[in-house]
Amino acid sequence: MTEDEGVEPNRLARRLGTFDAVVVGLSAMIGAGVFSAFAPAAGAAGAWLPAALAVAALTAYCNATSSARLAALYPESGGTYVYGRRRLGDLWGYLAGWGFVVGKIASCAAMALTFGMYAAPELARPLAVAAVAVLTVLNLFGVHRSASAARVIVAVVLAVLASVVVAGAVRGPVPAAGGGPDVSPWGVLQAAGLLFFAFAGYARIATLGEEVRDPARIIPRAIRIALGLTLAVYAAVAAAALGTLGPAGLAASAAPLAETVDAAGAGWLVPVVRAGAAVAALGALLALILGVSRTVLAMARDRHLPGVLDAVDPVRRVPRRAEIAVGVAVGVLVPVADLREVIGFSSFGVLIYYGIANASALTLSPEEGAPARWVPVTGLALCLLLAATLPAASVIAGAVVFAVGFSIWLVRRGRIGAAGR
């Protein structure tokens, strides 16, 4: 029997093992922020950047643990959208899915723009649109091929980051680096919120629950491995950049890792780092489109999104219409989006999303695999706290989007109630 035989109609095929799931998570996390998040984070936290990284990692650990326990119990596409509906009720699951889809479409646009800006700044937007189109088509050929492409991308990016770490270690601190900005506890939390954006990719693993073999075993393991590897990479890169440029130099940098190797006397590596950043952004974009389309599919199945999106290709076993819809939405947003604004907006949505995941995990019983109670409690508190540290414009825009989503839910609920009478 082939791996596609016996698959229920309109269901996705379980093709991913532990290695593929880890690679999908790594490509999303490492590509999402390691080339861009350190500079604004250093501007907020200064020399306390490692402390901010630790807070972001703790938040990510709590979220990952809660998500893993829930994903093992509900191995379906949709992630927290599914968990919220099952544990907290239809509204909370819907709001999680709404925030995830809207926020991550913005994140897709951010990654596409990052690719364009590193590859050729003067052609950034046309290249970004082209990247969205190409990767959407790639996803249409199946999740296994997408995971295979992610392997190559992760290998390239890790090699580039290793070169940055080695260059910084060999050169050592630059004497004129400077002391960095004044720092307050609020600044450290703000930096943690910015750095959390770079950790959020492990959600891609949970949203692929319907395509993972033995999800109860593989999903928790893959999330822990991917998160641990990402933290180790981020810590090493942060130490190299902070030690070479200093807090002030890192905060003022437009391309921190490229400037790190240049200041370390390895200017020949600058084009390599720029190419690595472009590849990393492509890896993040690939995984993001993959994950968002699965949540769109799950919401369409429940008619929280148009039912026409509830379709799985009978040959490729992928949600073709959902993937095309996500690709089109991102392609429309890219020409008008501002990189910094969409990152802040996406961060707000994803923190609320994980807040709902932690709240869902609080309802688990020991028989259902509940994590230690401090994990979801801490995760929920940190999600809300870090969301509050984001720029006011991001918080306001995010609140408006959630209000719009809530209004749509109310209208839909009223129509269903009227039809039932």
Averaged pLDDT in 10-residue chunks for the chain of 421 residues: 47 67 75 74 87 91 88 77 91 90 86 83 90 86 60 82 88 53 80 82 63 73 84 90 88 82 89 86 80 82 83 74 90 84 83 94 92 95 92 87 91 67 53
Q: Would you say residue 194 lies in a domain?
A: yes
Nearest CA to 286 among 185, 136, 107? 136
Q: Give residue-wise pLDDT tens across range 5-19.
A: 444 555 555 667 777
Task: Give the separation between CA 195 and CA 189, rounded to whole angstroms.
Answer: 10
83 assigned to some structural domain: yes
79 vs 357: CA distance, rounded Å: 9
Q: Give the dihedral sign, CA 107/112/118/120.
A: negative
Q: What is the CATH number of the domain that holds 341?
A: 1.20.1740.10
Tokens 């950790």 identify what position? 199
- φ/ψ of 123, rounded to 5, equals -120, 30
Q: Return the pLDDT at 131.
A: 92
pLDDT of residue 25: 74
Please check whether residue 45 is in contact with residue 51, taking contact to mean a CB–CB distance below 8 angstroms.
yes
The whole-number pLDDT of residue 145 equals 53
Rounded CA gap, 56 and 192, in Å?
Answer: 5
Task: Name residue, tokens 């929920």.
Answer: 380
C-beta separation of 102 from 349 below 8 A = yes
396 lies in a domain? yes
The single residue listed with the structure tokens 């993001």 is: 288
Rg of the chain (C-alpha set): 21
- Cα-to-chain-centroid distance, residue 383: 15
CA dihedral 12, 14, 19, 21 (to 10 degrees): 30
Q: In a 3-state reduction of DSSP, which class is residue 313?
A: coil
Task: Please report, for residues 61, 97, 330, 355, 406, the alpha-carbon distance to residue 304 in angstroms, rounded to integers and kept in the order given.
Answer: 30, 9, 20, 21, 11
Q: Side chain identity at 351, as an amino acid letter?
A: L
pLDDT, position 153 = 74
Query: Rounded CA gap, 236 and 229, in Å?
Result: 11
Which three-class secondary structure state does DSSP give residue 16?
strand
How does DSSP assign 334-357, residue by residue? GGG--HHHHHHHHHHHHHHHHHHH
The two three-digit tokens of residue 228, written as one number: 């641990």
pTM, entire model: 0.79
Flag whether 13 is in a domain: no
Which pair of tokens denotes residue 22? 């880890």
Bridge partners of 208, per DSSP, are 77
Rounded (5°) CA angle 201-202-204: 75
Q: For residues 251 and 235, give the distance between their C-alpha atoms in angstroms, rounded to a whole number.
A: 17
Give the number of other Cβ atoms within 10 Å of residue 116's Cβ.
Answer: 24
Report d(CA 148, CA 324) in Å as an integer.
20
Cβ count within 10 A of residue 314: 11
Beta-bridge mates of residue 77: 208
Structure confidence at residue 4 (pLDDT):
47
Q: What is the CA 272 to chain-centroid distance, rounded? A: 24
Residue 12 lies inside a defined structural domain of this protein: no
- Both tokens of residue 34? 């390691």
At residue 355, the pLDDT reads 95
Cβ atoms of residues 128 and 116 within 8 Å: yes
Amino acid identity, position 306: P
In a domain, 419, yes or no: no
Q: Taking a C-beta distance cutoff of 8 angstroms, is the pair 297, 310 a contact? A: yes
At 374 the pLDDT is 96
Q: Is 194 exposed, middle or buried (0-12, 13-18, 19+ CB in 10 A)?
A: buried
Its domain, for residue 88, covers 18-413
C-beta neighbour count of 236 within 10 angstroms: 17
Structural domains counted in the chain? 1
User: Counting Cβ atoms within 10 Å, is residue 121 exposed (0-12), middle (13-18) or buried (19+)?
Assistant: exposed
Q: Is residue 226 part of a domain?
A: yes
- Residue 9, in any domain of the structure: no
